[in-house]
Amino acid sequence: MFTDLYSPLQQLRHARLSQLWIKRDDLIDPYISGNKWRKLKYILEDASTKGKNHLVTFGGAYSNHLVATAAAASRSGLKATAFVRGEQVNNEMLVLCSLYGMELIFTDRETYKDKTACYTAYAEKHADTYFIDEGGASAEAVRGCAEIITELPGDTAHLFCAAGTGTTAAGLLQGIQKAGLTAKLHVIPVLKGGEFIRDEIAQYVPVTDQLVLHTDYHFGGYAKTKPDLLKFIRDFTAAHGILIDPVYTAKLFFAIYDLAEKNYFREGEKIIALHTGGLLGIMGMKDKLI
Ligand SMILES: *Cc1c(COP(=O)(O)O)cnc(C)c1O
């Protein structure tokens, strides 16, 4: 592969939790945001096995997945095209996609809904295309995320991650089951009505009581924030020197801190938070953050 994966496990100081650790997938690469690399790894392998040299994918204008795919494609010598949801816009994320040579096709919301139709029409006119779903959701992505478990200590009691589509969570649960660990997987959906994540996960792996959903930390919905979340981001970053993003990882850490406050954990239990990255977009939210 074009890049060696390195993701340290780092302890976090916390007044109530003596064993709080953070799996720094955010450090894997600045542009291939942590879990997006985990997801793309076997997708790229599959594309290559099938002799496809042109990735075609989907996402919103602030998608970490699009930047990750653009960067990974260019480093692997592949072409990349993205159907971008909504009218033409410009932002720092799309600039990166563009610099990495990704073709951007802005697509109105109605047309975008039928991704298969978008892809089929495009594939008819271009050779050797390879379909990648929005956010990279796929069995290959689940397999890539499951590997994270092999890099974690066997005595982990609680593993936490944020969820958008639930693909990363499905991989973590798969990895936990494969390794026969007793760890609980705690998932923080960043969207409102996060119960749907259970069904998403169940598409890939049998859901057991090892899965715990915490659906009350969405702060109003996807990419929505509240003053206490923004304050949490500032305090956390200043205290630890670790950036977190308002969309995913801030909600994740807020949840852990809140549960600790409510004495959810037993003394000495090993708790690991997966930092999935997602830091590229934060400058686009600067007006909210300061
Ligand atoms: C995309 C993303 C997620 C969500 O992952 P899913 O597999 O869709 O649940 C979480 N964190 C960050 C930083 C992301 O970019």
pTM (2 d.p.): 0.96
Give the count of beta carbons closer than 10 Å to the beta carbon of residue 264. 15
Residue to substitute in 26, 28, 32, 64 for testing ligand 1 pocket (most ligand atoms within 8 angstroms of CB): 64
Same domain, 241 and 254: yes
Same domain, 157 and 14: yes
**pLDDT for residue 284:** 79
In angstroms, what is the span from residue 83 Cα to ligand 1's centroid?
A: 19
In angstroms, what is the span from residue 9 Cα to ligand 1's centroid?
A: 19
2 in a structural domain: no
40 is written with which tokens?
A: 């793309």
281 is written with which tokens?
A: 């977009």
d(CA 272, CA 25): 12
Domain's final residue, options 100, 117, 136: 136
Mean pLDDT of the chain: 96
End-to-end CA distance of the chain: 39
Element (H, E) at 97: helix 92-99
Domain's final residue, options 116, 136, 156: 136
Taking every pair of Cα atoms in the chain, the longest distance, rounded to a whole number of angstroms, is 60
Question: How many domains does the chain fold into?
Answer: 2
Same domain, 67 and 148: no
Same domain, 226 and 150: yes
Select which of 7, 63, 98, 138 is catalytic: 63
In 33-136, where do the E strands start and end?
54-59, 79-85, 103-107, 129-131
d(CA 189, CA 24): 20
In angstroms, what is the span from residue 144 Cα to ligand 1's centroid?
A: 13
Same domain, 104 and 233: no
100 in a structural domain: yes
Per-residue pLDDT of 8-35, as tens digits, reads 999 999 999 999 999 999 999 999 989 9
Query: Strand 184-189 relative to strand 158-163: parallel, antiparallel, unpaired?
Result: parallel
d(CA 289, CA 159): 28
**pLDDT for residue 289:** 81
Q: How far is CA 239 from CA 23, 96, 270, in A?
A: 17, 30, 21
**CB contact at 8 A, 38 and 145:** yes
Residue to substitute in 276, 279, 280, 285 for testing ligand 1 pocket (most ligand atoms within 8 angstroms of CB): 276
Give the count of beta carbons closer than 10 Å to the beta carbon of residue 89. 11
In 89-179, where do the E strands start and end?
103-107, 129-131, 158-163
Q: What is the CATH number of the domain that holds 270?
A: 3.40.50.1100
Asked if 63 is an active-site residue, the reply is yes
Per-residue pLDDT of 183-238, as tens digits, reads 999 999 999 999 999 999 999 999 999 999 999 999 999 999 999 999 999 999 99
- Burial of residue 55, with CB atoms counted within 10 A of its CB: 0-12 exposed, 13-18 middle, 19 or more buried: buried
Could you give the percent of the chain with pLDDT greater than 70? 99
1 in a structural domain: no
Give the count of beta carbons closer than 10 Å to the beta carbon of residue 205. 20
68 in a structural domain: yes
Residues with C-beta less than 6 Å from any ligand 1 atom: 33, 35-36, 64, 135, 162-169, 245, 248-249, 276-278
Full domain range(s) for residue 101: 37-136
d(CA 53, CA 79): 6
Domain's final residue, options 93, 114, 136: 136
Element (H, E) at 121: helix 115-125
14 in a structural domain: yes
Query: Strand 103-107 relative to strand 129-131: parallel, antiparallel, unpaired?
Result: unpaired
Same domain, 115 and 185: no
In angstroms, what is the span from residue 164 Cα to ligand 1's centroid?
A: 5
Same domain, 267 and 243: yes
Per-residue pLDDT of 95-145, as tens digits, reads 999 999 999 999 999 999 999 999 999 999 999 999 999 999 999 999 999
Same domain, 68 and 128: yes
Query: Strand 103-107 relative to strand 184-189: parallel, antiparallel, unpaired?
Result: unpaired
| Residue 1 confidence (pLDDT) above 60 | no
